[in-house]
């Protein structure tokens, strides 16, 4: 596929979902970071269900220093891998409070050195907080990009590298939320809603059906 076609293929998705924001609830940057850590292997809906009492205790990074790990685990016990995630939130919050004055640095490489912050989490947080041109590739984005034939990859990490290579800065700034929402609500993993999809003619998956 020629580069000039990618934008025209993705434009309907950006037009439909472009005004939307991340579906995780938060009030502060550290709460956003915590919610994104919690959302791995868990739906945003479930994260939003369990975070209000936790966020009432933990507003800023420094607040994790006043709450025991067991207490954090008790708040977060209804998300997958809550023990690891609780430890990541406590350790990362402590590092941010002690070394960065509680502020999340706008540095992709640096924040990946914090406990529990992988490439996807780092990119989502920086895109949302600082409007940086990153696409945090999750299973939805990985699936959509492969079905459309824009990439041909086996893992989200490979898709991440391909997106970085293929798209310019401006396009990457626009892509994250529309692609996640399109994958979450339209191009579903098991039963994609192809009959109402404007992308049929450009979709490799649909053309092979």
Stretch in the footprint of ligand SF4 (CB under 6 A) among 111-119, 129-137, 152-160, 198-206 = 198-206
Active site residue 198: no
Residues 100, 30 contacting (CB under 8 angstroms): no
Given 156, 178, 193, 208, the residue binding ligand SF4 (CB under 6 A):
193
Nearer to ligand SF4, 100 or 206 (CB): 206
Residues 150 and 148: their CA atoms lie apart, in Å, by 6
Q: Does residue 17 interact with ligand SF4 by CB under 6 A?
A: no
Window of 45-53, 115-123, 171-179, 190-198 that interacts with ligand SF4 by CB under 6 A = 190-198
Tokens representing residue 188 in the block? 């579903």
Question: Cβ(89)–Cβ(61) under 8 Å?
Answer: no
Whole-number Å distance between alpha carbons of 37 and 121: 7
Binding mask 143-162 for ligand SF4 (x = CB under 6 A): ----xx--------------
Site track for ligand SF4 across 103-142, x = CB under 6 A: ----------------------------------------
* Shorter beta-carbon distance to ligand SF4: residue 136 or 192: 192
Q: Is 14 in the site for ligand SF4 (CB under 6 A)?
A: no
C-alpha–C-alpha distance, residues 100 and 64, integer Å: 14
CB 31 within 8 A of CB 59: yes
Alpha carbon 33 to its chain centroid, in Å, reads 10
Active site positions, annotated: 120, 138
């Amino acid at each position: 596929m020629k580069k000039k076609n990618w934008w025209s293929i993705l434009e309907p998705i950006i037009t439909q979902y472009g005004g939307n924001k991340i579906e995780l609830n938060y009030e502060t940057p550290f709460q956003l970071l915590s919610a994104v850590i919690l959302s791995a292997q868990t739906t945003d809906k479930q994260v939003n269900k369990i975070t209000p009492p936790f966020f009432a205790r933990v507003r800023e990074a420094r607040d994790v220093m006043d709450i025991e790990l067991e207490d954090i685990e008790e708040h977060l016990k209804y998300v997958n891998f809550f023990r690891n995630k609780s430890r990541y939130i406590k350790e990362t919050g402590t590092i941010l409070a002690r070394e960065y004055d509680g502020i999340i640095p706008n540095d992709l490489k640096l924040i990946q050195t914090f406990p529990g912050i992988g490439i996807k989490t780092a990119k989502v947080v920086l895109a949302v907080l600082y409007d940086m041109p990153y696409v945090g590739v999750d299973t939805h984005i990985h699936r959509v990009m492969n079905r459309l034939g824009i990439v041909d990859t086996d893992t989200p990490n490979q898709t991440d590298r391909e997106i970085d290579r293929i798209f310019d800065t401006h396009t990457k700034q626009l892509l994250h939320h529309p692609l996640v929402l399109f994958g979450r609500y339209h191009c579903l993993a098991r039963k994609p809603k192809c009959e109402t999809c404007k992308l049929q003619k450009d979709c490799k998956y649909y053309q092979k059906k």
